Structure 1
């Protein structure tokens, strides 16, 4: 009963992902046309003007025009190639599932090159734009920079894993890479959704609310896809656990300590802080509940490998608030930010960075198991008995 239900859910998820990507691709292709030629049509602005309001769109354009015009060509490269990646992603997923190896490899090369080129355009924009002058301010700039590094790192490790012959690790890193890329269409969806939840909220504030949970959501989606595709119950060389009970207890304590710092800090920011805290805590609690339930379910089913991966990601999620709490004063001093901006930035990058760390730890876990097998001496079969000694023993018995 479990397998057909899981298969139906997987197909539904692929259909939804494909629909979102196909819908966002033309938006990405045309998003920057008005900045290059005022009055040019842009599908995203047209939709946003009808789902929210023309004033909301005008506010967005006005806020972005100055920074964008200084780096327009790199941003156009970034946006157009991002639209292409939206089309390539579902195709790559389907070719992998259907085991179209040659097509998957050929398109994989195109995908990797496109990611690097698109992220190079984004990097030029970030380098040329001071954080405080970026669209929606320094917090948004910091989150964009972390997403860029995470995307480039994921595609790099995924490519190396494929080259070295580790398809399971390749799959994990590429799914995480595409998760980071999905922050773009998910942010646009929130541009249309959050103003209905918070009427009158500016697009700058909408962005600040969105970055509170986008990193957690996209990395969580990548993990769900990874576990759906990985049916193994064990991994060669896997012994023990890197997330035993004492580690999980310490992770829970660290997470509680981190929340004890973040929650009062957000509450002290008034209405805006409470709004940001809600946007952080609700998705965090949902992801925590699912990870804990899946880990417990894998234990009951005797699936040691699934339990290990769920627990490693759960430990990383628990450590995210502690990491964010530590990063608040670091960002304040390193980038000369005010407390509210540093708090928003630290919370915005915490879950995504710790999820990236979790995939790294899972990869090391797999590699350590394989290295253990490689170094383990081969088992030698027991030596055959000497026929002379056997005959002598038989003669002795006959003599007695």
Structure 2
């Protein structure tokens, strides 16, 4: 990941130079031209020129600061930095502020650009908007967790935030790789293929990183499970129904639908298998907290297709989109939104555990109630009661 971030940082910072000054050097275009073709790059620039020039300054701010975030993120994960609390906090403050300003630039672009006129169309606009909200929300919860003294939750939210940010470099990698698998596809079609699984992949990566950094076998106050067997069974049933509907709907969209289905289904099955196996291994090792977190994310992953299936008709009716565009958008946002929900549930689980401990502590500190005095009756003159 660090290598990808270091390579992508200068690409992000120079990506929009040609739109401001035609002919200006751009490292990303240079690499893409040599990995794919000059014609592919020229078509991409031409297709993006209209939407981008209307919001060029906000996009330049977004892009340059996005490159800076690619450098700040790995630095924050270095053990040497995390051990230096003041340095870690200072860099974290810079990171959070940079996220807000960078996302403000992206928000201005989205607000100024109607979904149908956005680069790669309405589905791509919806996915970008969802990533923006997820990025801002996760960094905000991460900051709040740090302020309230929850370093484990702070870590999870910031890793999810960085996962959302990683969609940018991973998308550029797919620009260079997918044309070899699908010759003749335009950049817009490549984007549609990529968004079918990017959300799932970055959320999965954030989960793996969170679990790798958390070696605890349990969380104080967290007993039992919020993902018992019946809940997981229900999640699997709903997920299977949603997945079946998505498969049926995409198969009805011809060659493009089948291509999109493969792009969605293969990563989904692989990530599901890994999460399910990790949950079972945690049970065998009796790692209670690891098992709980894996199971919560497993339930969320099962529900992602159901969420996407429900979202499709909503997008059709509220935004006036056609079925294929709604399918791409619904599937594209499902995994990321359910991963966000899973981290929220994990956070509530930890907060509930702390609240349980607090109440137990208050009960232990309360003085015991004095014993009740037995009721007595006056003694008679003869000494009898």
2:77 corresponding residue in structure 1? 93
Q: Deviations over 1:1-54 (max 9, x none)?
A: xxxxxxxxxxxxxxxx11100100000010000000000010000000000001
Contact 1:233/1:306 (CA < 8 Å) preserved in 2? yes
- Please give the residue correspondences for 1:89-238 in structure 2 after superposition, counting only pairs within 5 Å: 89-95=73-79, 98-238=82-222
Q: For the structure 1 residues 244 and 97, does the alpha-carbon distance in structure 2 shift closer, same or farther, using more than 3 Å as the test?
A: farther
Q: 1:101 deviation in Å?
A: 1.0
1:253 aligns with 2:233: no
How large is the Cα RMSD of the aligned pairs?
1.4
Q: 1:382 deviation in Å?
A: 12
1:61 aligns with 2:45: yes
Instruction: Give the TM-score of the pair, scaled to structure 2.
Output: 0.94
Q: Could you tell me how far apart the structure 2 residues matched to 1:310 and 1:97 are?
A: 28
1:32 aligns with 2:16: yes
1:397 corresponding residue in structure 2? none
Contact 2:246/2:309 (CA < 8 Å) preserved in 1? yes
Q: Could you tell me how far apart the structure 1 residues matched to 2:327 and 2:234 are?
A: 24
Q: Could you tell me how far apart the structure 2 residues matched to 1:292 and 1:71 are?
A: 44
| Large movers: runs of 4+ above 2 Å | 95-98, 377-383
1:51 aligns with 2:35: yes
Q: Could you tell me how far apart the structure 1 residues matched to 2:244 and 2:153 are?
A: 35
Contact 2:312/2:330 (CA < 8 Å) preserved in 1? yes
2:381 corresponding residue in structure 1? none
2:324 corresponding residue in structure 1? 340
Q: Deviations over 1:139-171 (max 9, x none)?
A: 000000000000000000000000001000000
Q: Could you tell me how far apart the structure 2 residues matched to 1:303 and 1:95 are?
A: 24
Q: 1:380 deviation in Å?
A: 7.1
Contact 1:237/1:372 (CA < 8 Å) preserved in 2? yes
Q: Could you tell me how far apart the structure 1 residues matched to 2:191 and 2:166 are?
A: 15
**Among candidates 274, 279, 299, match of residue 295 of structure 1:** 279
Q: 1:379 deviation in Å?
A: 3.9
- Please give the residue correspondences for 1:300-339 in structure 2 after superposition, counting only pairs within 5 Å: 300-339=284-323
Instruction: Give the TM-score of the pair, scaled to structure 1.
Output: 0.90
Q: 1:200 deviation in Å?
A: 1.0
1:70 corresponding residue in structure 2? 54
Q: Deviations over 1:59-87 (max 9, x none)?
A: 11011000100000000000000000001
SS at the partner of 2:224?
coil
Q: 1:99 deviation in Å?
A: 1.3
Contact 2:4/2:169 (CA < 8 Å) preserved in 1? yes
Q: Structure 1: which 5+ residue stretches go unaligned?
A: 1-16, 384-400
Q: Structure 2: which 5+ residue stretches go unaligned?
A: 369-385
1:358 aligns with 2:358: no
Q: Could you tell me how far apart the structure 1 residues matched to 2:365 and 2:96 are?
A: 45
